[in-house]
Amino acid sequence: MTDNDKKKVSGLVIGGGLLIGIGVGFLFLPDSPFVFVGSSMIGLGGGLCLSFLWSH
């Protein structure tokens, strides 16, 4: 895998993790907006971790 391909994949992984976190957050949005923000941050962090592991 070339460096350019790794950059494309890492961007998709980060975006996918964030979208999953936002999707889960929407389920809990009526209960607490803090859970929405927290799940978005967890999704972003998970995407960043996966992209780091994928690139090495």
Mean pLDDT of 1-29: 80
Q: What would the pLDDT profile of 17-37 be if each residue is shown by its tens digit? A: 888 888 898 988 888 899 999
The domain in which residue 11 lies consists of: 3-55
> In sequence order, what DSSP letters do the residues of 29-53 get, joined into one string?
TTT-HHHHHHHHHHHHHHHHHHHHH
Which is higher by pLDDT, 31 or 4?
31
Q: What is the pLDDT of residue 37?
A: 92
Count up the domains in the chain and report the number.
Answer: 1
| HSE toward the beta carbon, residue 27, CA cutoff 13 A | 6
pLDDT tops 90 at residue 9:
no
- The model carries a pTM of 0.77
The answer to whether the beta carbons of residues 21 and 10 sit under 8 Å apart is: no
Which long-range contacts (C-beta less than 8 Å, at least 24 apart) are formed by 31-39? none
